[in-house]
């Protein structure tokens, strides 16, 4: 299948939409699709992009045709990608299927040109963009892809009417992730992060941004209550990490900052407990955007793939995937006492911890890989 993917993304980038797009395109290629990706590139030389993507994300897009432009300015990136894509598409044979996470391209192709498109949206648009989102999703030849049942519900509430055609596809994690045996985790972590030494009873990991609503304050309180447990926090932009490091007075809490995707996955598999303390309002670093009600975090699926037990906030949207006491422990988002009790239970009941992690890994490998998601996209594309 000749498939075009129009992104809203800059590659390479730490943004979640960039990671999603690259991982999904790689999985589509592995399914045998001939993929063309449209994006903005963050490096000057076009010929360097495939190798840079391989280094940044650990996936190979060298079989794809990547149509990109370089700009040092972020202004109107989505619109510029859309124009770039349409100019290229009009000069070539139309593809067998078109997937777009780019709102402007989706509207122009679906609503204006009346062409079939798989329109993937991860948020509720406002202002002028709300009109574009509404017009696109109401086209009967457009399939609107959402990352959770909650997002489908809120789209209907937001617009007063639901999409003409909807497909719910949660996010995913890379294929083939295998757990590290418990006995080998500590050595593996030290090999991955040579500076991490000490005779800690256990090590907890957090992976993600440090934006408001991510629950970092909960982890700080957990560290105070567990002086013999090491807490490692991966991710965050440089300014946020620097602020946290300057204010941190705990010797058992370390802000690692950003590491390459492959290093993060290795470290994720090497700790003893993984923490996901999302609060009831979650920022994605963009003013006015709160995703707590409908998010489908890629981190959750990578956690599930790691083979390490998970403690997560008990949010309705996360319960679409996580089941308390089956594949994770779910606790009230801001109840620090509950978080401490959940951690104590996992540290003392190893059999229970092993049961949670085994079930989570099974759910990941069966339903939540990028390969599985690619297969669902291709099936939907054939129906357009």
| pLDDT bracket for residue 290 (50, 70, 90) | low
| pLDDT bracket for residue 289 (50, 70, 90) | low
User: Which pLDDT score, from 0 to 100, does residue 211 have?
Assistant: 83
The residues, ordered by sequence, that sit 6+ positions from 369 with a Cβ below 8 Å of its Cβ are 27, 172, 173, 174, 175
The answer to whether 140 and 165 are in contact (CB under 8 A) is yes
d(CA 135, CA 111): 6
Bridge-partner residues for 34, per DSSP? 2
Count Cα atoms within 13 angstroms, Cβ side, for 148.
Answer: 23
d(CA 42, CA 74): 10
User: Which pLDDT score, from 0 to 100, does residue 266 have?
Assistant: 96
Express each pLDDT in 311-334 by its tens digit: 999 999 999 999 999 999 999 999
Mean pLDDT lowest among 120-129, 132-141, 190-199: 190-199
Q: Where are the beta strands (DSSP E) in 46-128?
A: 65-70, 97-100, 117-120
The residues, ordered by sequence, that sit 6+ positions from 72 with a Cβ below 8 Å of its Cβ are none
Statement: residue 142 has pLDDT above 70: yes
User: Which pLDDT score, from 0 to 100, does residue 282 have?
Assistant: 63
User: Which pLDDT score, from 0 to 100, does residue 285 have?
Assistant: 47
User: Which pLDDT score, from 0 to 100, does residue 191 have?
Assistant: 93
The residues, ordered by sequence, that sit 6+ positions from 232 with a Cβ below 8 Å of its Cβ are 193, 196, 203, 204, 205, 206, 254, 256, 267, 271
pTM: 0.94
The answer to whether 18 and 10 are in contact (CB under 8 A) is yes
Statement: residue 291 has pLDDT above 80: no
Express each pLDDT in 53-90 by its tens digit: 999 999 999 999 999 999 888 889 999 999 999 999 99
How far is the CA of 290 from the CAs of 60, 79, 123, 132, 295, in angstroms?
Answer: 32, 23, 9, 20, 9
Which domains, ranges and CATH numbers included, belong to the chain?
2-172+369-382 (3.40.50.2000), 182-366 (3.40.50.2000)
Mean pLDDT of 23-46: 97
Express each pLDDT in 9-29 by its tens digit: 999 998 999 999 999 999 999
| pLDDT bracket for residue 213 (50, 70, 90) | confident
User: Which pLDDT score, from 0 to 100, does residue 280 have?
Assistant: 85
Q: Which two tokens stand for residue 69?
A: 């432009």
Mean pLDDT of 191-202: 87
Instruction: Report the percent of the chain where pLDDT is more than 90.
Output: 91
Bridge-partner residues for 230, per DSSP? 203
Burial of 340 (0-12, 13-18, 19+ CB in 10 A): middle
User: Which pLDDT score, from 0 to 100, does residue 286 have?
Assistant: 47
Express each pLDDT in 346-359 by its tens digit: 999 999 999 999 99
Burial of 50 (0-12, 13-18, 19+ CB in 10 A): middle
Burial of 91 (0-12, 13-18, 19+ CB in 10 A): exposed
């Amino acid at each position: 299948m000749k498939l075009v993917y129009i992104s809203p993304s800059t590659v390479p980038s730490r943004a979640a939409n960039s990671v999603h797009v690259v991982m999904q395109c790689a999985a589509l290629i592995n399914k045998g699709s001939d993929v063309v990706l449209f994006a903005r590139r963050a490096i000057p030389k076009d010929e360097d992009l495939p190798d840079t993507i391989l280094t940044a994300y650990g996936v190979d897009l060298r079989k794809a045709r990547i149509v990109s432009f370089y700009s040092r300015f972020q202004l109107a990136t989505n619109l510029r990608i859309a124009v770039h894509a349409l100019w290229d598409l009009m000069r070539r044979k139309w593809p067998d299927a078109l997937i777009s996470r780019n709102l402007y391209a989706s509207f122009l192709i679906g609503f204006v040109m009346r062409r079939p498109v798989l329109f993937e949206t991860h948020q509720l648009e406002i202002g002028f963009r709300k009109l574009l989102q509404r017009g696109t999703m109401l086209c009967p030849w457009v399939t609107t892809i959402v990352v959770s049942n909650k997002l489908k519900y809120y789209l209907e509430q937001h617009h007063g009417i639901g999409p003409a055609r909807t497909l719910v596809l949660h996010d995913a994690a890379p294929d083939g992730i295998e757990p590290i045996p418990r006995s080998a985790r500590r050595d593996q972590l030290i090999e991955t992060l040579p500076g991490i030494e000490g005779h800690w009873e256990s090590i907890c990991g957090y992976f993600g941004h440090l934006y408001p609503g991510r629950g970092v304050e909960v982890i700080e309180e957990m560290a105070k209550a567990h002086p013999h447990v090491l807490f490692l926090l991966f991710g965050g932009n440089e300014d946020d990490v620097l602020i946290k490091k300057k204010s941190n007075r705990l010797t058992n809490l370390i802000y690692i900052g950003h590491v390459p995707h492959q290093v993060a996955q290795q470290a994720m598999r090497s700790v003893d407990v993984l923490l996901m303390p999302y609060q009831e309002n979650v920022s994605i670093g963009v003013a006015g955007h709160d995703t707590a009600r409908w998010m489908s975090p890629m981190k959750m699926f990578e956690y599930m793939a790691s083979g390490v037990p998970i403690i997560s906030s008990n949010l309705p949207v996360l319960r679409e995937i996580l089941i308390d006491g089956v594949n994770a422990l779910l606790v009230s988002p801001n109840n620090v006492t509950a978080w401490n009790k959940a951690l104590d239970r996992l540290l003392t009941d190893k059999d229970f911890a092993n049961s949670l992690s085994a079930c989570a890994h099974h759910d990941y490998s069966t339903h939540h890989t990028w390969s599985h998601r690619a297969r669902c996209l291709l099936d939907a594309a054939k129906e357009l």
